[in-house]
Structure 1
Amino acid sequence: MSVDTEQTLPWPSYREYFSVLKTTAANITVLCSICRKEYSTSKTSSSNLRKHLEEFDSKKRKAEHGPTVGEKRHAGGSSTQTRRHCLAATSRPKALSQSRIDRLIVNFVVADMQCFSVVENEQFRSLINAMQPSATVLNRKSLVNQIDILYREQKASLIATLEKVSTVCCTADCWTASNRVFGETVQEDLDFVANSITDVLDSGSNNDSSQEIHLPRHRRCAAHTLNLVASVDAENAGNNVAYREMARTAMYAVAKALDILQGEQYMYMGVLQPTLHSLLRYQRSLPPLKYCTPLASSLQEAVTKRFSQALEDADLALAAAVHPKFKLSWMTEERKAATLRLLEEECRTLETFCNENAATSEGSDEDDLFFQLPPVSTSCSEVQQWVSDPGTDTSELAKFPKIKKIFIQRNTGIPSSAPAERLFSKGRDIFSIKRGKLSDANFEKQLILKCNEFCK
């Protein structure tokens, strides 16, 4: 017996369904691509193969594998005619419209963040013309115009989406990269949410002065600050060589906090303070470390120093208080009482605002104006119910309308700009020499189209 893995069936119409496993002097052993079973047939007759195919339900076979062998023969005549017809059909190139070709070129440039000048490359033009001889390849100017039109459409769609929300969080890290700092801000295009924007930035000194002048209230990127704690500040313990043996224990809390703040599971501002307090609590609870006491002390001091403002920020405490996972359980009694008062005050403000709107829209009864009846406050009861509610999922917010509004307002911002930096990593080598002439406007257009799944 001889095994021949390169042998093909002598009947072309069956090659779609069977592949040859081995051959003998008189028979061929094949593997069925449908049922994955082996069958044997004579070299001079395909009847066994035909019978096997006919056993399957014709409708199922049509849906999954196309027409049967017999149907192929009836539709196209003899097997020779069928083979010629198939070869002719596959040899004819499918004609594409010029608009489709233009769109495919735009997709290629945007998806791969290519230079616009790639369409002027002779080899690129030859490639397109070889596949579609009648095609006209876009020049650079036409490409830029088409990208601009599509960008405007995508931008209008994004703005329409943002108009429906009350609070927006953005990052300015990309604007300040590679010493390309400008005084313009994203709010120029988002005037309708200009007063509800939180900026999250790294802790670079180049951001300090610009934010005082041009940008709204901003938060330092917590992940970047913790990286400084773990790298720059941790070097203070570098003089003690033996500490490395226990460094993993000392660094565990910092690494865990970084995973939480840089991840996408807890992208809420209310996560920051509970994470920092848990980090400090872990550092204080460490037993005396024979070799790593300098490192543990340096980390604890660095977190306390670098996050001193964030640890005492009342707004961050309020953001955590309206997060179902944390609420007030992680606070000291003194801090808990202060945050509870702040939360009740926020709810009363919301209630007053809603009552004023209702009175304005519905009008006031003359008798009510005379008696000046005070509205019945439900804020305190909602806060107490919220604090005592055992639920920890964000879906629980639906039961507390005022708390939900405060949650959206306080937790739309994120404690770290790391998720946004992953977005801008799609720009690839955008700051390299070969892309140096790419304007900021064109980079923005490519990035928006690419990240919004334009290329489909």
Structure 2
Amino acid sequence: MDADQQESSGESKSAMHTWRFRHHFTYKADQGKNIIVQCNLCLPRVNLLSTSKTSTSNLKKHLDRTHLGCEACPDVKRGRKKEEHNGEESRHCQLKKLKAEIISKYTTQAKVDELIYDFIVEDCLSFYVLEQPGFMKLISGLTEGLKSMDRVTLFTKVDQSYSRMREELMTRLGSTQYVCTTADVWTANNRSFFGMTCHWIDSVSLERKSAALGFARLQGKITYDTVAGRIHDIHVAFNIESKVQITVTDNGSPFMSVFKEFAPDSQDSDDDIGFYENVSSVLEGEPEKGTFLFLPTVQRCASHTLEQIVAQDFWQAVSQGPMCQLHYNTMAKVFSIFSKCHHLQVGMDAAEEIGKMALVVPSVIRWNVEYCAVQKIVSLTERELTELCARLEVPRMQPEEMAFLKEYVTVFHPLAFALELFQAEQKCYLGLVIPTVLSLKNKLNEQKDTTTYFGEVINAIAMAIDVRFLELFASTEAKIATATTPQFRLWWMAASEREEMCSVLATEASQMDPCSVTEESPSRDPSTIKSEDDFFSYGSVKPYAQTQQRGVMEEIRKYIEGTGKSLECLQDFPRVKQLFLKYNTTLPSTAPVQRLFSQKGNLVTSQRNFLTDDYFERIQLLRYNSNLLSLTIE
């Protein structure tokens, strides 16, 4: 009941009876010297308030703080039947007007445009969405009359954001000493795209930073010269051709042909950059003399190499072993379950109901996805698996087949773990590869004597690891990267090789001594200083060089003898830190560029076909770099 009904019912009067804003509250109960009322403006949320019978200050504060503008509608016509008859309607109009005022105050056209921009870029939608009647009606209804921006405005904002992103990214790369890039080619819906990402380590926080550099459409046949031209163009466009330590690619034929065709014959350059003449045909146009192509050293994707071991060496060992028939029979039933759970609704419902899980369909290029799916099947009880096979009309798993799957999951768990480790980005470095591969071999060999089915397969995988990672184990760069990672240092090496490795680290560290760079006095010309140094004789420099070499060796030995495993301990060893930045900037896999292609759904959909190749690339780069760069539209 409202205040008037309270008075007519004989309840005690209060200060609310003469208050002009009493129609905003409904009386509920007495509570000693106070009364309990409900705020009508807060509906449908029930908001009970307590106020003194002799004062309405609490209620007035509530109106001022929560319901702006309500003081413009006092109840000055108290007692009139017309007011009582139209009370509900007037309150409804007042609430609607108040809502419109609040929305207009806190929701501006600029804010709406920013949200629409984020919506289009985040989901990579066609710009024609802005002109759809339903979308325009949605924006107008949610914003109480504000309009959606048109396509021309969106084009302008995308261009402005892309320009600012490119400038900010080039500024960051300009202050970075070492950079690693990853490159890949992806084909979907009869379209091919070339993608490239770059990665570096912040010299202060030692955190890895990543950004996308290119997402270009490839026209025509994909050849090694086309790929080489794209790599060269992007490196030059961002002015990082002399900073790129390594470009990480998969083991596909286009990339291997690129670096086989243009491999540097010598290592005269400290930055491992090759200069090649007579390759101007790569760069679109007629051949011209004096054209150079900059290509860095290639690093094969470690995760792709492991997947090749599973896809080729594992299957070859299985097909030639005594368990060939058992393996094919078991996996046929497993893939039958996968297929029905993926394509049939009854299969999805059965998996959800019986196993309380969604079975992931294995991917051809991602063996660890297949492993996880098999792991889910093994986790089912015998009753659950029998019921699932019956519901899906799949032949029941025999005890020997279940034993085979359980051993499969146990034996190859280290391999799945290694793949997940290589596909990480933030905390994965080149120095992680050698210890991971060595640990993988050791864990596989430890299980060889206890296995029933996979003894010969383990031998084949161990031999394949030695062959496919032979180049990596012989790489001095990979060894330095591992040695400068505090988690491993030289613990992974044989004791007889550690002294030689210390000498290699000391030699590398002495060439990039961070303390050798000193600030010159601005009041003196550097040429004058050099001429004075040539005039005065300071004696032999050999003692100083020996002293410097001893300081480097002492730092290296002190680092090697340390036990800290976090990267923070590198702050105490500046030379080792510089080596870490140089050699561990390299990623071990192409997972980041693969995420660029597979980010949030399919690469190309029917809606995205309305976007030109240029704007499709800009949208992809803006979306990928949104977490790294602070981009706001104007």
User: What TM-score bracket applies, with the shorter chain setting the length?
Assistant: 0.7 to 0.9
Q: Does residue 1:223 correspond to 2:303, yes or no? A: yes
Partner of residue 315, structure 2: 235
CA displacement at 1:210 relative to structure 2: 2.8
Give the structure 2 partner of residue 207 of structure 1. Answer: 255
Partner residue in 1 for 2:99: 90
Distance 1:393 1:66 in 2: 56
- What's the counterpart of residue 410 of structure 1? 583
Identify the residue that residue 20 of structure 2 maps to in structure 1.
none
Deviation string for 1:146-178 (max 9, x for gaps)?
311211111111111121211112211256776
Who is 1:373 aligned against?
Answer: 541
Alpha-carbon distance change, 123 to 264 in structure 1, aligned in 2, over 3 angstroms = same
Q: Which sits farther off after the overlay, 282-291 or 109-118?
A: 282-291
Preserved CA contact (<8 Å) 2:555 2:573: yes
1:47 to 35, 53, 63: 35
- Aligned to 2:487, what secondary structure does the other structure show? coil
Query: Aligned partners of 2:564 and 2:465: how far apart in 1?
Result: 31
What aligned pairs does 1:293-332 form with structure 2 within 5 A after superposition? Answer: 293-332=455-494
CA distance in 2, matches of 1:419, 1:440: 21
Counterpart-to-counterpart distance in 2, 1:293 and 1:309: 26
Q: Report the secondary structure of 1:85's partner residue.
A: helix
Larger CA deviation: 266-275 vs 197-206: 197-206
Give ranges in structure 2 of 5+ residues lacking alignment: 4-27, 39-47, 77-86, 194-221, 263-293, 327-399
Q: Partner letter of residue 169 of structure 1?
A: C
Any conservation in 2 of the 1:230–1:254 contact (CA below 8 Å)?
A: no
Partner Cα distance (1:342, 1:447) in 2: 43
Give 3-state SS (helix, strand or coil) of 2:171's partner: helix
Query: Any residues of structure 2 matched to 1:69-80 within 5 Å, and which?
Result: 77-78=74-75
SS of residue matched to 2:432: helix
* 124-133 or 280-289, larger mean C-alpha shift: 124-133
1:239-278 superposed matches below 5 A: 239=319, 240=323, 241=326, 244-264=405-425, 266-278=427-439
Q: Name the structure 1 match of 2:150.
A: 138
Corresponding position of 1:124: 135
Matched, 1:441 2:603: no
Asked if residue 345 in structure 1 is aligned to residue 507 in structure 2, the reply is yes
Asked whether the 8 Å contact 2:35–2:50 carries over to 1, the reply is: no
Q: Is the 8 A contact 1:247 1:295 kept in 2?
A: no
TM-score, length basis structure 1: 0.77
CA positional deviation for 1:411? 0.6
For 1:215 and 1:310, the matched residues in 2 are separated by 20
Residues 188-197 or 373-382, more deviating: 188-197
| CA distance, structure 1, for counterparts of residue 248 and residue 435 of structure 2 | 18
Could you tell me how far 1:373 is from its partner in structure 2? 2.6
Return the match for 2:571 from 367, 385, 398: 398
1:168 counterpart residue number: 179
Letter in 1 for 2:615: N
In the superposition, the TM-score normalised over structure 2's length comes to 0.57
Instruction: Using the TM superposition, name which of 259-268 and 172-181 deviates more.
Output: 172-181
**Aligned-CA RMSD value:** 4.1
* Structure with more strand by fraction: 2
Please tell me the residue identity of whatever aligns with 1:429.
N
Taking the aligned partners of 1:154 and 1:70, their CA distance within structure 2 comes to 42
1:307 aligned partner, one-letter code: F
Question: What is the CA–CA distance in structure 2 between the aligned matches of 1:342 and 1:118, rounded to whole Å?
Answer: 60
Structure 2 SS opposite 1:53: strand
* Change in 2 beyond 3 A, CA 1:404/1:70: closer
Which amino acid counterpart does residue 256 of structure 1 have in structure 2? F
**C-alpha distance in structure 1 between counterparts of 2:564 and 2:57, whole Å:** 52
- Do the aligned partners of residues 67 and 424 (structure 1) sit closer, same or farther apart at CA in structure 2, a change above 3 Å counting? farther
Shift in Å, 1:430 = 2.5
Checking the alignment, whether the CA contact within 8 Å between 1:113 and 1:427 is kept in structure 2 is: no
* Matched residue type, 1:373: V
Task: Please give the alpha-carbon distance, in whole angstroms, between the structure 2 residues aligned to 1:52 and 1:120.
Answer: 47
Q: Tell me, what secondary structure is at the counterpart of 1:173?
A: strand
1:153 aligns with 2:314: no
**1:323-360: per-residue Cα shift (whole Å, max 9, x none)?**
11100011113432332221111012123993799896
Pairwise CA distance, 1:263: 2.5
Q: Does 1:111 align with 2:111?
A: no
The whole-number CA distance in structure 2 between the counterparts of 1:303 and 1:354 is: 42
Render the CA deviation track for 1:211-244: whole Å, top value 9, x for unaligned: 4546421211111221222233221233412754
Change (3 A) 1:219 1:71: closer
Deviation at 1:290, TM superposition (A): 2.3
Aligned to 1:24: none
Change (3 A) 1:217 1:366: closer
C-alpha distance in structure 1 between counterparts of 2:69 and 2:51, whole Å = 13
User: Aligned equivalents of 2:537 and 2:144: distance in 1?
Assistant: 79
Given candidates 287, 290, 300, the residue that maps to 2:452 is 290
Contact 2:161 2:632 in 1 (8 A): no
**Quick check: 2:35–2:51 contact (8 Å CA) kept in 1?**
no
118-127 or 302-311: bigger deviation = 118-127
Specify which of 191, 194, 203 is matched with residue 242 of structure 2: 194
Partners of 1:127 and 1:308 in 2: how far apart?
60
The 8 Å contact of residues 245 and 291 in structure 1, kept in 2 or not, is answered as no
Question: Any idea what SS the aligned residue of 2:412 has?
Answer: helix
Aligned residue pair count:
416
| Aligned CA distance change for structure 1 residues 255 and 11 (closer, same or farther; 3 Å) | farther
2:448 and 2:68 mapped to 1: Cα distance?
80
Matched residue SS, 1:325: coil
Gaps of 5+ in 1: 1-9, 13-39
**CA 436–234 in structure 1, closer or farther in 2 if over 3 Å, else same:** farther
Task: Kindly indicate whether residue 555 of structure 2 is the aligned counterpart of residue 382 of structure 1.
Answer: yes
- Between the aligned partners of 2:423 and 2:509, the Cα distance in structure 1 is 31
The list of structure 1 runs, each at least 4 consecutive aligned residues, that deviate by more than 6 angstroms after superposition, is: 58-63, 68-75, 355-362
CA contact (8 A) 2:422 2:588 kept: yes
Greater Cα shift, 446-455 or 384-393: 446-455
